[in-house]
């Protein structure tokens, strides 16, 4: 499978008066062409920082990509100029944020906002641009596109506005779409419709998608693979099946217990007790130690090696780390 994106040992820091926040601490992942990868974790785990880094949208200062590579179709985005990055953003890689209202300009018609990007990046005639805008409106399921193009954002419902934001993100036919909590501001029914829309768009355009969310339930249907982030690290990655049916990391297991399930109607949701560690001085060992029901002595001292459960499934946990057996053997022989 062709990899469209490969992130290697990414570190992102933010300098503050209180010290340096290590927001992303050695993240590795890849995205195959045409697939959807979900990055899941609690707020503050570094998932948005990771996706902003891919777009090179980390404000510097105070932020900095302090190490790592972001290979987009083989080209390291950490090394390209800001000018080159501007022609990649919105054209090769597009991003959608949580709140559709702030993403749209209230003073411009939907038509103008759709066409803006096309005219800026491609030399498209007004007639062709309008055709393309109509085509995108249809793709995202907005009825009467001819009429609707002349209207302003406030004339649309929240769900329709998010459809428009998606249409704007897709009009230049990007190869990679990053959606950061794209359904969080919407009610449950509209959420489901927007997720279905992502699936349909992917089928029709082949776009690769990174979906950032705090809610594993959101990705249950549409993610091909899932990366679970905790305290600036990806602690487990696997196919959707592997993560939902065979989660190995205690944090992933905890997240799954807090997802409402239709087959367990009425069952109590169990939130994970405690809070993530402070990222000014993250623990050198496993950052989940303080909250983990299985924590062992070694856990907060040494970070576990990433261990392969299958070709696609990897976990950072001492329960799976081969060295744990050796450690136990040495302790037993004493
Ligand atoms: Fe729990 Fe230890 Fe695994 Fe961390 S490494 S998740 S503390 S068992
Ligand atoms: Mg976020």
3-state secondary structure of 211: strand
Task: Name all domains of the chain by residue range, CATH numbers in brackets.
Answer: 3-92+174-333 (3.40.50.300)
Cα distance between residue 255 and residue 40, in whole Å:
9
Q: DSSP class of residue 124?
A: -
Structural contact between residues 251 and 231, judged by C-beta atoms closer than 8 angstroms: no
Entry pTM: 0.94
Which residues, other chains included, contact 116 with Cβ-Cβ below 8 Å and sequence gap of 6+? 108
**Binding site membership of 226 for ligand 1 (Cβ less than 6 Å):** no
What's the pLDDT score for residue 177?
97
CB atoms within 10 A of CB 39: 27
pLDDT of residue 122: 79
Ligand 1 neighbourhood includes 323 CB (under 6 angstroms): no
pLDDT given at position 171? 92
d(CA 114, CA 292): 47
Asked if residue 11 lies in contact with residue 26, where contact means CB atoms within 8 angstroms, the answer is: yes
- 155 CA to centre of own chain: 30
pLDDT score for 267: 60
Q: Given this model, what pLDDT does residue 191 score?
A: 87
**DSSP assignment of 151-187:** S-GGGS-HHHHHHHHHHHHHTT--SEEEEESTTTTS-
Task: Give me the interface pTM, i.e. the ipTM.
Answer: 0.96
For the Cβ of 294 lying below 6 angstroms from any atom of ligand 1, the answer is yes
% the chain with pLDDT above 70: 95
Q: Please state the length of the chain.
A: 334
Q: How far is the CA of 298 from the centre of ligand 1 (A)?
A: 9
Tokens 């004493």 appear where?
Answer: 334
CA–CA separation, 324 and 328 (whole Å)? 6
Cβ atoms 255, 213 nearer than 8 A: no
* pLDDT the model gives residue 262: 57
Strands (E), the chain: 3-16, 19-32, 36-40, 63-72, 75-76, 93-96, 176-180, 208-213, 225-230, 233-239, 306-308, 314-316
User: To which residue do tokens 């602690």 refer?
Assistant: 235
Q: What is the pLDDT of residues 131-156, one digit of tens each?
A: 999 999 999 999 999 999 999 999 99
Residues of the chain with pLDDT under 50: none
Distance 185 CA to ligand 2 centre (A): 12
Nearest atom within ligand 1 for CA of residue 250: 6
Distance (Å) from CA 283 to ligand 1 centroid: 12
pLDDT recorded at residue 124: 84
Q: 235 CB less than 6 Å from ligand 1?
A: no
Ligand 2 mean position, distance from CA 45 (Å): 8
């Amino acid at each position: 499978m062709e990899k469209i994106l490969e992130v290697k040992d990414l570190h992102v820091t933010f300098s503050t008066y209180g010290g340096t926040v290590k927001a992303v601490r050695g993240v590795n992942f890849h995205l195959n062409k045409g697939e959807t990868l979900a990055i899941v974790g609690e707020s503050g785990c570094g998932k948005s920082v990771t996706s902003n880094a891919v777009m090179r949208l980390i404000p510097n200062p105070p932020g900095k990509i302090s190490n790592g590579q972001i290979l987009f179709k083989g080209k390291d985005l950490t090394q390209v100029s800001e000018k080159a990055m501007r022609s990649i953003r919105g054209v090769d890689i597009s991003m959608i944020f949580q709140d559709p209202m702030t993403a749209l300009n209230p003073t411009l018609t939907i038509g103008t906002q759709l066409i803006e990007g096309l005219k800026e990046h491609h030399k498209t005639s007004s007639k062709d641009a309008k055709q393309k805008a109509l085509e995108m409106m249809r793709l995202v399921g907005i009825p009467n596109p001819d009429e609707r193009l002349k209207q302003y954002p406030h004339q649309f419902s929240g769900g329709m506005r998010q459809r428009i934001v998606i249409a704007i993100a897709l009009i230049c036919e990007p190869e990679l779409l990053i959606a950061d909590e794209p359904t969080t501001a919407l009610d449950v029914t509209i959420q489901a419709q927007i997720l279905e829309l992502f699936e349909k768009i992917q089928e029709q355009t082949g776009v690769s998608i990174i979906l950032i969310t705090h809610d594993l339930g959101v990705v249950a249907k549409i993610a091909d693979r899932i990366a679970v982030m905790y305290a600036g690290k990806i602690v487990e990655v696997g196919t959707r099946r592997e993560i939902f049916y065979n989660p190995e990391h205690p944090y992933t297991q905890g997240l799954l217990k807090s997802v409402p399930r239709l087959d367990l109607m009425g069952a109590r949701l169990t939130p994970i007790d405690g809070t993530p560690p402070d990222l000014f001085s993250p623990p050198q060992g496993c950052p989940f130690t303080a909250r983990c029901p299985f924590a062992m002595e070694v856990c907060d001292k040494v970070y576990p090696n990433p261990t392969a459960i299958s070709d696609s499934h990897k976990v950072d946990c001492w329960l799976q780390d081969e060295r744990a057996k050796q450690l136990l053997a040495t302790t037993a022989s004493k």
